[in-house]
Amino acid sequence: MKEELAKRIVQSLKDAGIDFVTYLPETRLSQIVPLIQNDPGMELIAAASEHEAVTIAAGATLGGKQAAVYMENTGIYVSSYSLLTVGKQLGVPLLLVVGYLGGVPDQRNSFLYATIGNHTIPVLQGLGIEYMVLESGEKLETKIKDAVRAMNALRGPFALLFAGEFSI
Amino acid sequence: MIRHECLELLATNITNQLVVTSQSGQRIEWSQLSSHEGNLLVGMMGCAVGVGMGLALALPHRKVIVLDSDGSVLLSLFNLATLGNLRPKNLVIYVFDNGVYSGSRISYPTATSGNTDLEAMAKGAGIENAHTIRNVEEFKNKGIEALTRDEPAFFVCKVEESLMHREIPRPNTDLAENKYTFVRYLERTEGKPIPFIGRG
């Protein structure tokens, strides 16, 4: 992804009120990690599993932060239990910033990723988690702000799936 | 030693700490022993340590206590590695290790009944202040004492299986109700709104 897009993602997260990010790095959006790390207005916490990343972010939200979890879409499968329990059942807003590998708009799609991508949206739907697919930087700031407002209104996780321009 | 004895002692030492419980017996026993508004009864296995870590990081000036079990910690062992690196100074974790999946009603053994040593695993993961506690006196002298220290602590409390919680009425506070009581308590004691609540 172009450096400019990475900067716009991080700035938009910050402008939307996100001040706490847990993560497990992946390939498509990894340029955002050092940008978040170097931003004094955001706390970045490395987790060892996406399940853990979701639970830490949920605790931080209950403690007064506005939290995002950055992960690959495979992390949706790993964390589906905590997304359902602490996310949906307890009702804790969380912004899922997801590298959408293997989806149709993934510009680096291959036989390695296609199955992973094929199941992402049905699994989110099965979990009852609303989502938005982003393929370009058009209205990026507005879309991220909309997602943060939606997660707070819904009292639960909301997923942003990044592909297209973001996956180059 | 049984878990209830430890929890009784702990309950008399609660002031403004935040207490996160996992699923299983300690959630029920703790609900009966403590009506503290800072209790968050996370009723799911493998989630309490993560939620406790998040709270401890968000509120570094507040002491956060996690009550967990061997089965639950074994379900989320990656927490040990993250804890061992983050080392939040305000987090005290008590793992009540009875060596069985008691909630299953067949009490089949967990790995800690075999060769697995949670204290050694915690130390190997980087949690220096990890200890095994084997009696109530030790729980009082080491476990309760840790609440006064400014350092992370991880206690593996070896307990006999007790079915006392099955005689205690289960809490009738639903998860959302508990969450809002907890969050409102935080808003009051921290003197600031919790952002996600927002305004309708």
Q: Who among A48, A58, A64 is closest to B195 (CB)?
A: A64
> What pLDDT is recorded for position B15?
97
Assign residue A102 a region: left if phi > 0, alpha if psi is -120 to 50, beta otherwise?
left
Q: What CATH number is given to the structural domain containing A21?
A: 3.40.50.970
8 Å CB contact of B186 and A92? no
> What pLDDT is recorded for position A3?
95
Q: Who among B58, B82, B175 is closest to A59 (CB)?
A: B58
| pLDDT-derived band at A99, boundaries 50, 70, 90 | very high
Residue B137 C-alpha, separation from nearest chain A C-alpha, in angstroms:
32
> What pLDDT is recorded for position B165?
86
| pLDDT-derived band at A163, boundaries 50, 70, 90 | very high
pLDDT in tens, A122-135: 999 999 999 999 99
> What pLDDT is recorded for position B103?
84
Asked if the C-beta of A49 comes within 8 angstroms of chain B's C-beta atoms, the answer is yes
Residue from B56, B18, B66 nearest B178 by CA = B18
Digitized pLDDT (tens) for each residue of chain B, 200 residues in all? 999 999 999 999 999 999 999 987 889 999 999 999 999 998 899 999 999 999 999 999 999 999 999 999 999 999 999 999 999 999 999 999 999 998 888 999 999 999 999 999 999 999 999 999 999 999 999 999 999 999 999 999 999 999 888 888 888 889 999 999 999 999 999 999 999 988 88
8 Å CB contact of B53 and A20? no
Tokens of A35: 């940008």
| Dist CA B197 CA B187 (whole Å) | 10
> What pLDDT is recorded for position B198?
83
Give contacts of B 28-57 with A, CB under 8 A: 40, 42, 44, 46-47, 49-57
> DSSP assignment of B154-190, as one string?
EEEEE-----GGGTSPPP---HHHHHHHHHHHHHHHH
Task: Look up residue B111 and give its DSSP letter.
Answer: G
Instruction: For chain B, give every domain's residue range.
Output: 3-197
Q: Who among B46, B54, B176 is closest to A59 (CB)?
A: B54
| Dist CA A89 CA B103 (whole Å) | 21
Average pLDDT over chain A, rounded to an integer:
97
| Dist CA B73 CA B157 (whole Å) | 13
> What pLDDT is recorded for position A35?
98
Task: Look up residue B131 and give its DSSP letter.
Answer: E
Asked if the C-beta of B200 comes within 8 angstroms of chain A's C-beta atoms, the answer is no
> What pLDDT is recorded for position B23?
81
* Bridge partners (DSSP) listed for residue B69: B96
Asked if the C-beta of B181 comes within 8 angstroms of chain A's C-beta atoms, the answer is no
| Dist CA A97 CA A69 (whole Å) | 6
Q: Domain range holding A120? A: 3-167
> What pLDDT is recorded for position A145?
98
What is the ipTM, given to two decimal places?
Answer: 0.97
CATH superfamily, domain at B3-197: Thiamin diphosphate (ThDP)-binding fold, Pyr/PP domains (3.40.50.970)
Count the domains in chain A: 1
